[in-house]
């Protein structure tokens, strides 16, 4: 017997998805500004999952990332047995749960072209606002490399947002790591504007939005330069090279595009360097920074060996006798996950990254919508840049700004699911 799809049921489920996202957006300020509200947020998250399960008969949307995400959550739960004081780790655990629930909320909601376009635009607006907030609230070290930019930064008043965990200002490395998720997407949309893609006509025909794209790209890029995060710079160079090579659809263009991006980015730095002393300072600083990271990795290795499956617990590494509290992480995402959550979490995280990459490639190669392909490419290039950044630095799992990683993954997954549905309707798969 053939089951008839009920329009009423679909509209009811769509309303549930809207309510879920609305609630998650509503409780976001509690996570951001109110340090003692994590229990409240945790209760709300569990209530969302319970009501979603009762009303939609499923707790999670169907994605290829479900298994690694569940494995990651199990690893986090197991790691709590070693946490000496759960109150220290609870904020990050709650933020991880919030980010993952937000990820699934996006996938549930973004099931039409119009909603996916709205989601992408909202994501870019969030990146632009993050750049503006970072310029005013970021604690930038005053070095010799960027005289012009620092003179401009000095004219912008520093604002203390008094965020929990960032009392001295927003950390530049975290800002740099997150901004490289947005910059390739800004570039792809500007490329589409110049190419006059018909599928984007509804949005890109707006002069206001065109100016926003240019403003967003410039502001995000200048903010990234101010962060002085060399890991983020390198990540952006590699991610952009991959993106340009894919846009050109020519294999040999990879070397050319890498060189072009590297030269253009280097001009910003070289322009402000007028003395040999400055160059020596940069080289010496890079060497000292790498040696510092190696020392941290040496501390982490025995801890991984002693707790390979469970880790030592989220946010516990900073309390290790050989660490300082303000260091907070291992300056490598995979090592940090192994230390605090265990090797199963590393496997889960790698599987998540592979899944994101797989979905982006499938959309890029098979989607009948050129719009979907280019947006997936921009998001994937940001993920590649983020991955390179996390090899020598990182945004900790459970950091507030880390939610943008999950939003980016959610957009890619929503586009992938929509592409599969289109192909099923057309009978192409």
C-alpha span between 285 and 133 (Å, rounded): 27
Average pLDDT (250-275) is 51
Average pLDDT (206-219) is 87
Instruction: Kindly report which listed range (106-110, 155-159, 278-282, 361-365) carries the lowest average pLDDT score.
Output: 278-282
Tell me: pLDDT of 198 over 80.
no
How does pLDDT run across 87-99, given as a tens digit for each residue?
778 888 999 999 9
Closest CA to 180 of 101, 243, 103: 243
For residue 272, what pLDDT is reported?
42
How does pLDDT run across 270-294, given as a tens digit for each residue?
444 444 444 444 444 554 566 667 7
Helix (H) or strand (E) holding 105: helix 86-109
Tell me: pLDDT of 256 over 90.
no
Average pLDDT (100-107) is 94
- Pick the most confident of 70-74, 208-212, 243-247: 70-74
pLDDT above 90: percentage of residues in the chain: 31
For residue 412, what pLDDT is reported?
96
For residue 71, what pLDDT is reported?
95
What DSSP string runs through 238-293? HHHHHHHHHHHT-TTHHHHHHHHHHHHHHHHHHTT--SHHHHHHHHHHHHHHHHHH
Closest CA to 222 of 126, 100, 140: 140
Average pLDDT (149-154) is 66
What DSSP string runs through 149-193? HHHHHHHSPP----BTTBTT-B-HHHHHHHHHHHHHHHHHHHHHH
The domain limits of the chain are: 13-426
C-alpha span between 235 and 395 (Å, rounded): 14
Q: How confident is the model at residue 350 (pLDDT cuts 50, 70, 90)?
A: very high
Q: Are 24 and 101 in contact (CB under 8 A)?
A: yes
For residue 204, what pLDDT is reported?
57
Three-class SS state of 110: coil
Instruction: Kindly report which listed range (4-13, 210-219, 229-238, 284-293) carries the lowest average pLDDT score.
Output: 4-13
Place of tokens 């604690």: 139
How does pLDDT run across 359-378, given as a tens digit for each residue?
999 998 887 777 888 899 99
Q: Are 314 and 76 in contact (CB under 8 A)?
A: yes
C-alpha span between 375 and 362 (Å, rounded): 13
Tell me: pLDDT of 135 over 90.
no
């Amino acid at each position: 017997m053939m089951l008839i799809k009920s329009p009423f049921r679909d509209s009811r489920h769509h309303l549930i998805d809207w309510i879920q996202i609305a609630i998650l957006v509503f409780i976001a300020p509690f996570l951001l500004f109110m340090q003692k509200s994590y229990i409240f947020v945790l209760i709300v998250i569990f209530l969302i999952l319970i009501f979603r399960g009762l009303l939609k008969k499923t707790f999670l949307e169907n994605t290829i990332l479900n298994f690694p995400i569940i494995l990651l959550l199990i690893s986090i739960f197991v790691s709590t047995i070693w946490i000496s004081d759960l109150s220290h780790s609870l904020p990050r655990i709650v933020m991880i749960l919030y980010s993952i629930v937000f990820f699934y909320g996006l996938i549930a909601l973004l099931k039409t072209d119009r909603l996916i376009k709205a989601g992408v635009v909202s994501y870019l607006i969030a990146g632009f606002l993050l750049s503006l907030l970072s310029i005013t609230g970021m604690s930038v070290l005053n070095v010799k490399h960027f005289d012009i930019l620092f003179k401009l930064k000095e004219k912008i008043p520093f604002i203390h947002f008094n965020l929990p965990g960032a009392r001295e200002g927003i950390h530049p490395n975290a800002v740099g790591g997150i901004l490289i998720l947005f910059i390739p997407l800004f570039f792809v949309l500007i490329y589409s504007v110049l190419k006059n893609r018909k599928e984007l006509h509804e949005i890109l025909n707006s002069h206001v939005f065109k100016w926003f794209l240019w403003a967003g790209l410039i502001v995000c890029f200048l903010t990234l330069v101010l962060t002085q995060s060399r890991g983020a710079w390198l990540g952006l160079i590699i991610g952009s090279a991959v993106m340009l090579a894919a846009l050109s659809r020519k294999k040999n263009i990879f070397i050319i595009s890498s060189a072009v991006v590297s030269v253009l980015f280097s001009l910003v730095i070289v322009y402000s360097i007028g003395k040999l002393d400055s160059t020596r300072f940069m080289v010496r600083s890079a060497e000292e920074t790498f040696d510092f990271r190696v020392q941290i990795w040496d501390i982490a290795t025995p801890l991984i060996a002693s707790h390979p499956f469970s880790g030592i617990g989220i946010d516990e590494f900073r309390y290790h006798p050989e660490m300082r509290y303000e260091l907070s992480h291992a300056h490598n995402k995979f090592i940090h996950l192994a230390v605090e959550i265990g090797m199963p979490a590393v496997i889960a995280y790698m599987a998540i990254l592979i899944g994101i990459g797989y979905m982006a490639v499938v959309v890029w190669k098979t989607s009948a919508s050129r719009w979907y392909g280019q947006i997936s490419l921009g998001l994937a290039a940001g993920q590649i840049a983020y991955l390179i950044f996390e090899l020598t630095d990182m945004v900790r799992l459970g950091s507030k700004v880390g939610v943008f990683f999950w939003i980016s993954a959610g957009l890619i997954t929503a586009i992938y699911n929509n592409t599969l549905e289109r192909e099923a309707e057309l009978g192409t798969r």
